[in-house]
């Protein structure tokens, strides 16, 4: 396959060299003549273990070339991979100047090289905000080459290459994701990377564009979390390295997909009090823990967001299905659902609650004292069946995927359904008034 790789930095050079090493005819394009000359002489323009050897071999076998402009001699490749920089502006926004310039150059080259039409897809590998392919790439292609009969398409194929292990990461990426609305573009990219023998996940462009941001944000959060714990534990004379070494042995909860599913706020008898305890220890030892403090602030924002959604519906009768802090328990201590219920009542909503497990007569100890302080009239609010809570409701807030609740929703859906569990089945998600929290 004929391929153009625009931008010969770390990502572009690794991508171009590895594609060329696996049978593709690759042209690397960069306005920096020093980088181009390095490729032409069989050297990598960037320092990356093992990359010099890959570049030298690909150049020697004639499958890797380099140019300072989109090469007309290539007669337009089938696919262009854009790997240019996307730095921050002074205010923190993503500067798409190089993306726009690259796509404009591609469109101009297509007009020259394919005046009679044909197909070409432009794949963004650079990290760009959601909407870039749809709002920047496709319009630029349409403006630059849309009137000469060329069928063009855009896609996002994020890279997951770490500097220092780029070549190894190329061949063992955590996933291979293609975001596009065009099947032929998805097929072309799949063919391009077929030698990796890795399944290709085809998703919407916005999802693919967001994925790298989510990954990098989580990586940064992990670094900051470990360092925050070290600051606090060090002040207490505890070896943070030993703590975190043990921490990482838990592959069930700590290093796993658990808790990484968008939904409602955290609560219960452990997480809120333990975060508060850590923050207190930090204060008395003059240690700043902004990341952990931020988790409490974020949790509050989630509850406030759901409350605002209910208020925006201009309704008076609300059904809350699920009250405990998680399913299959009657533990109401610091449940965000209890907090939401209290705020709804405080704003004058007529609230009815159903929870398949919670029975006021069986609540004891701290659990009972907590809910009585928040919802002293819980017995009058609870319904014995989900259908009773839903009867006449303008809005249903669902925090449980209990089968009885799901069945009742399907049988008698209210005008508005706010899913805060994220685990309801697809039939509920198709209800006219359905909305989720970020999905």
For 34-91, write each residue's pLDDT tens digit: 999 999 999 999 999 999 999 999 999 999 999 998 865 556 678 999 999 999 999 9
Q: Could you give the CA distance from residue 71 to residue 169 in angstroms, rounded to a whole number?
A: 28
Q: Is 270 a catalytic residue?
A: yes
Q: CB neighbours of 289 closer than 8 A, spacing ≥ 6?
A: 228, 231, 232, 278, 279, 282
pLDDT tens for each residue of the chain, 439 residues long: 999 999 999 999 999 999 999 999 999 999 999 999 999 999 999 999 999 999 999 999 999 999 998 865 556 678 999 999 999 999 999 999 999 999 999 988 888 775 556 789 999 999 999 999 999 999 999 887 766 677 889 999 999 999 999 999 999 999 999 999 999 999 999 999 999 989 999 999 999 999 999 999 999 999 999 999 999 999 999 999 999 999 999 999 999 999 998 889 999 989 999 999 999 999 999 999 999 999 999 999 999 999 999 999 988 999 999 999 988 899 999 999 999 999 999 999 999 999 999 998 888 999 899 999 999 999 999 999 999 999 999 999 999 999 999 999 999 999 999 999 988 888 899 999 999 987 7
Domain boundaries, the chain: 2-205, 298-436
Q: Confirm if 303 and 311 have CB atoms less than 8 A apart.
A: no
Kindly report the number of other CB atoms within 10 A of residue 131's CB atom: 12
φ/ψ of 434, rounded to 5, equals -75, 140
Task: Put the strands of the sheet holding 64-67 in their side by side order.
Answer: 64-67, 25-29, 2-6, 79-82, 118-124, 150-156, 176-179, 200-203
Which tokens hold the place of 68? 């300072």
| Structure token pair of residue 23 | 């049978």
> Global pTM?
0.88
> Which strands, in side-by-side order, build the sheet including 350-354?
350-354, 317-321, 395-398, 416-419, 434-436
Q: Do domains 2-205 and 298-436 have the same CATH topology?
A: yes
Q: How far from chain centre, in Å, is Cα 384?
A: 39
Q: What is the pLDDT of residue 81?
A: 97
Backbone dihedral angles phi then psi of residue 362, each to the nearest 5 degrees: -105, 0
Query: Rounded CA gap, 141 and 104, in Å?
Result: 7
Q: Which of 18, 121, 215, 270 is catalytic?
A: 270
Encoding tokens for residue 258?
């658990």
Instruction: Write down the CATH number for the domain with range 298-436.
Output: 3.40.50.720
| Residue 434 DSSP SS3 | strand
Fold of the domain built from segment(s) 2-205:
Rossmann fold (3.40.50)
Angle at 117 between CA 112 and CA 121, to 5 degrees: 85
Count CB-CB contacts under 10 A for residue 172: 11
For 241, residues 6+ apart whose C-beta sits below 8 A from its C-beta are 230
């Amino acid at each position: 396959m004929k391929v153009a790789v625009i931008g010969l930095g770390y990502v572009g050079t690794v991508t171009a060299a590895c594609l060329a090493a696996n049978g593709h005819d690759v042209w690397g394009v960069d306005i920096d003549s020093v980088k181009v000359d390095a490729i032409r002489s069989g050297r990598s323009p960037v320092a990356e273990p093992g990359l010099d050897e890959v570049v030298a071999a690909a150049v020697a076998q004639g499958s890797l070339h380099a140019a300072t402009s989109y090469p007309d001699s290539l007669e337009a490749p089938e696919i262009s991979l854009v790997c240019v920089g996307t730095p921050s502006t002074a205010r923190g926004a993503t500067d798409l100047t190089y993306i726009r310039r690259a796509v404009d150059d591609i469109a101009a080259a297509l007009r020259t090289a394919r005046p009679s039409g044909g197909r070409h897809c432009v794949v963004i590998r650079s990290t760009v905000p959601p909407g870039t392919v749809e709002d920047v790439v496709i319009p630029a292609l349409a403006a630059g080459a849309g009137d000469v009969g060329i069928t063009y398409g855009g896609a996002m194929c994020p890279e997951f290459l770490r500097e220092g292990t780029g070549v190894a990461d190329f061949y063992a990426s955590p996933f291979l994701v293609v975001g596009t609305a065009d099947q032929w573009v998805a097929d072309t990219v799949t063919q391009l990377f077929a030698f990796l023998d890795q399944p290709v996940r085809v998703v919407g462009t916005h999802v693919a564009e967001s994925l790298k941001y989510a990954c990098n944000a989580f990586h940064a959060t992990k670094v900051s979390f470990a360092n925050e714990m070290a600051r606090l534990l060090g002040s207490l004379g505890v070896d943070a390295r030993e703590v975190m070494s043990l921490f990482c042995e838990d592959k069930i909860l700590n290093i796993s997909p658990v808790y990484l599913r968008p939904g409602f706020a955290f609560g219960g008898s452990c997480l809120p009090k333990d975060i508060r305890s850590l923050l207190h220890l930090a204060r008395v030892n003059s240690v700043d823990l902004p990341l952990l403090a931020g988790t409490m602030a974020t949790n509050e924002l989630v509850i406030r967001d759901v409350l605002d959604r209910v208020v925006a519906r201009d309704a008076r009768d609300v059904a809350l299905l699920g009250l405990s802090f998680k399913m299959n328990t009657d533990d109401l201590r610091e449940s965000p659902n209890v907090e939401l219920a209290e705020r709804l009542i405080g704003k004058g909503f007529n609230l009815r609650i159903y929870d398949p497990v919670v029975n006021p007569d069986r609540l004891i100890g701290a659990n009972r004292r907590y809910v009585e302080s928040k919802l002293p009239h819980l017995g009058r609010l609870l319904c014995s069946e989900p259908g009773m809570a839903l009867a006449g409701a303008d809005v249903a807030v669902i925090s449980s995927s209990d089968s009885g609740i799901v069945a009742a929703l399907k049988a008698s859906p209210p005008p508005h359904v706010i899913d805060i569990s994220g685990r309801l089945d697809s039939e509920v998600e198709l209800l006219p008034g359905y909305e989720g929290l970020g999905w």
